Structure 1
């Protein structure tokens, strides 16, 4: 069987040869177009019928990413499109764009299934009791359920204390929010104040326990990573290095695709600024560590909150992956939405932890290399990561037609989730 990555090289070479014939007018354009479509269809059939195997670990991915780079070079996309910044949009629930090559897109992962880690599965009795009291609305009974002795023994001395603590902290946030949830439709600031900011604060707290070394800034935050003035609703940073951006698009329940699209582009652009700034700060970290780096973008819009990550798998290629989303509960009877929201924040905290740990390791590698270069002039040279982001990019322009570039999502009934305990690998 042919390796899939080798397949991209073969197909690309054939299509490039057809493009040369087209430019030199050696064959009628209609015939060349038909041949091109035929080649794509043949390789697509090979793909789907198992004649092409997956790449083995260690095989070179350059052919795959080169195919995406060629797509970017040929793309005649919308003036606000993220493809102008060489960003691929993909991930859970995200449909393949009409401009993308379907075979290339499918190699980026399964967009219909996700594994959800739930911190509530190990505390079913505690969770059930809290939900029952929350529905009744008696504050004294709610607090009694929250302060359950068995659960607090787990928090203080149990083997699963971090998860137990998170479940308690999340229920505290939910209890406060449910007393104000009717107000989140009034304005963006009220929406952020009563729900979005407390959830981000909880994710930051959970990610950094027992050492709190992250800073979550809220309000009209001017991004330090951008050369131009760019503001965000919230930013998470580690020692001055920004790596998670928050955008809230108007009040809860508003349906405004133009605003949603504008904020999606703005947030993605901000995440790209974060990535570039990290590479220019830790420019002598290793390329292996760069492959582990992900910066985050959280987008609260309409009745949902979305989580995206941005990474750089190859030079001049960025992947914006939709990791998860959650519906926002608006009353105490929506137990499924409350627990899904808790799972979402747990995932966000895990992503924050992994990101700041990677940044710390990149900083250490950078300093270690500079020190070794001083002590040993013959020390092996290393790629300067700042050279990977030399291309100038501009802040997105203002406009009214951003809605058409908002990524389209797969219908909920076509999606599938597997829920497992939070500690399960």
Structure 2
């Protein structure tokens, strides 16, 4: 409804209490629900009390309509506002996050001015000052060699799921992160379809969710999605031949007693063999368990996940990173840091609690992998499973953003090689997802691996090779991530002194890597999740 010009700045003349003060302090042109939500009920946890605030807005408009000595045009406008549809909780959360992100991106404080008196002052650099400026220090990503046995090879899955072979490099396709034409097509498609996306869907945030066995449903263009898959670089990690005799000896054990004896017979004392031994010990634990394996989430974690993640973390020793697993309900510090910087952290109750986190305790305690467990082993509740998937996606983005801020002067090319992981345990499966930065504003959510857990000893011939390869690959991928972080740190420290007393004339990583930061809460944010995927085609088995 159009407000008459002479009433554009009208405010309710009599002072009111509580949320009604909003209409006394703000002119009628600003009486939208969005402004009301931002400006009132500051003592409430607004995410949890969204419905309460929505009801309060309607009640306060009714109060205006029933008040005396109010111009009829104002009463009519209040009535019009009460009939307008208000945003959903998810739409409001995304909107506030976008506004906070925009404010952060606009306040780019790098310029340092040395005054004659010797004092130092900091000035602001606006977006306009950065337009059309080419980054002079853009460097190609540095490839980091891992241990000899963990080098990246393109291999063929052999021995019932374990990769011990090598195929020709001709089969390795171009990395889509460097395929500018593909990203332009994605940009055009996502812009065209943006009004059809759920506020929390990856596509709504320029995240391309993909991977072997992952469907383009429900939002992505199938043809473009297939082009994306066909240009993706696939890394595989062969298990060294020195370990295969030991693996065969354990797997081929005819009974559980021989299995136990064989796993303790290591051919040599090496990091690789000791890692494999820990894998077999973890399997022995659930093979011999007498408790009900379906009895709750805690059982799922203690039997099928924690022993293996502990071994993975202990096996990531590159760069003296101090990788360790935190169990229980550890707080994802990256999410808290980002929400605090955006002024969106309400209280400690709004912290992101994972089911486990692998952190690099000797590298600024950077989080590189976290765990989300969707209920007990075998749970099939689709809403819970899909909610945890989307929660984990945004948690990964918060980690990426934190690393970009920490090493802001490092090169974009190196940062594109960085992967952050979340392990999603759902039903009887473990899904290892990675999140990485591709182009400005674009991210890739890629399912690296999945493992269907077979808890029976008689299924070991098929399950154990797949299980070993799954966690072997996880360890190798984490080693790559640690090595990339080490390079980012080195580049950052080399570049940073150049801009100690003057502003940096090109966008740093903290400027370029700027995803929306969303901390989802199941009670408020799970609506519609059952239809948001991920969908599997063919269904993983």
Shorter-chain TM-score bucket reads: 0.7 to 0.9
Aligned to 1:119: 239
1:389 aligns with 2:513: yes
1:237 aligns with 2:359: yes
Q: Deviations over 1:31-53 (max 9, x none)?
A: xxxxxxxxxxxxxxxxxxxxxxx
**Larger deviation, residues 195-204 vs 63-72:** 63-72
Indicate conservation of the 8 Å contact 1:217/1:236, yes or no.
Answer: yes
1:169 aligns with 2:286: no
Selected match of 1:401 from 521, 524, 528:
528
Report the Cα distance in structure 2 between the residues aligned to 1:173 and 1:132, rounded to whole angstroms.
17
* Counterpart mapping for 1:174-213 below 5 A: 174-180=283-289, 183-208=292-317, 211=320, 213=322
Indicate conservation of the 8 Å contact 2:325/2:357, yes or no.
Answer: yes
* Counterpart mapping for 1:65-80 below 5 A: 65-74=183-192, 75=194, 76-80=196-200
Deviation at 1:67, TM superposition (A): 2.3
SS at match of 2:229: coil
Aligned to 2:56: none
Indicate conservation of the 8 Å contact 1:233/1:248, yes or no.
Answer: yes
Q: Deviations over 1:340-381 (max 9, x none)?
A: 111100111011111111112111211111134459x79x95
Indicate conservation of the 8 Å contact 1:92/1:114, yes or no.
Answer: no
* Counterpart mapping for 1:54-73 below 5 A: 61-73=179-191
Aligned to 1:136: 255
SS at match of 1:222: coil
1:343 aligns with 2:463: no
1:147 aligns with 2:264: yes
Report the Cα distance in structure 2 between the residues aligned to 1:383 and 1:179, rounded to whole angstroms.
56
Aligned to 1:313: 438
Indicate conservation of the 8 Å contact 2:330/2:356, yes or no.
Answer: yes
Indicate conservation of the 8 Å contact 1:92/1:113, yes or no.
Answer: no
Q: Hey, which of these two has a bigger chunk of strand by percent? A: 1
Deviation at 1:108, TM superposition (A): 2.0
**Larger deviation, residues 269-278 vs 334-343:** 334-343
Report the Cα distance in structure 2 between the residues aligned to 1:132 and 1:301, rounded to whole angstroms.
29
CA RMSD of aligned residues (A): 3.1
Aligned to 2:81: none
Deviation at 1:104, TM superposition (A): 2.1
Between Structure 1 and Structure 2, whose CA radius of gyration is higher? 2
Report the Cα distance in structure 2 between the residues aligned to 1:250 and 1:58, rounded to whole angstroms.
35
Selected match of 1:222 from 331, 339, 346:
331
Q: Closer, same or farther in 2 for the Cα pair 1:66/1:255, shift >3 Å?
A: same
Indicate conservation of the 8 Å contact 1:178/1:331, yes or no.
Answer: yes
**Larger deviation, residues 321-330 vs 215-224:** 215-224
SS at match of 2:399: helix
Q: Closer, same or farther in 2 for the Cα pair 1:165/1:254, shift >3 Å?
A: same
Indicate conservation of the 8 Å contact 1:219/1:233, yes or no.
Answer: yes
Q: Closer, same or farther in 2 for the Cα pair 1:372/1:294, shift >3 Å?
A: same
Selected match of 1:365 from 491, 498, 517:
491
Deviation at 1:185, TM superposition (A): 0.7
Aligned to 2:61: none
5+ long unaligned stretches in structure 2: 1-171, 340-344, 346-350
Indicate conservation of the 8 Å contact 2:434/2:448, yes or no.
Answer: yes
Q: Closer, same or farther in 2 for the Cα pair 1:210/1:242, shift >3 Å?
A: closer
Indicate conservation of the 8 Å contact 1:284/1:382, yes or no.
Answer: no
Deviation at 1:167, TM superposition (A): 2.0
**Larger deviation, residues 395-404 vs 229-238:** 395-404
**Larger deviation, residues 107-116 vs 270-279:** 107-116
Report the Cα distance in structure 1 between the residues aligned to 2:233 and 2:429, rounded to whole angstroms.
18
Deviation at 1:116, TM superposition (A): 5.6
Report the Cα distance in structure 2 between the residues aligned to 1:411 and 1:164, rounded to whole angstroms.
34
Q: Closer, same or farther in 2 for the Cα pair 1:116/1:293, shift >3 Å?
A: closer
Report the Cα distance in structure 2 between the residues aligned to 1:313 and 1:210, rounded to whole angstroms.
25
Indicate conservation of the 8 Å contact 1:243/1:275, yes or no.
Answer: no
* Counterpart mapping for 1:25-104 below 5 A: 61-74=179-192, 75=194, 76-104=196-224
**Larger deviation, residues 97-106 vs 350-359:** 97-106
Aligned to 1:250: 375
Report the Cα distance in structure 2 between the residues aligned to 1:58 and 1:323, rounded to whole angstroms.
15
Report the Cα distance in structure 2 between the residues aligned to 1:407 and 1:121, rounded to whole angstroms.
36
Count of residues in correspondence between the two structures: 348
5+ long unaligned stretches in structure 1: 1-53, 156-160, 416-425
Q: Closer, same or farther in 2 for the Cα pair 1:326/1:114, shift >3 Å?
A: farther
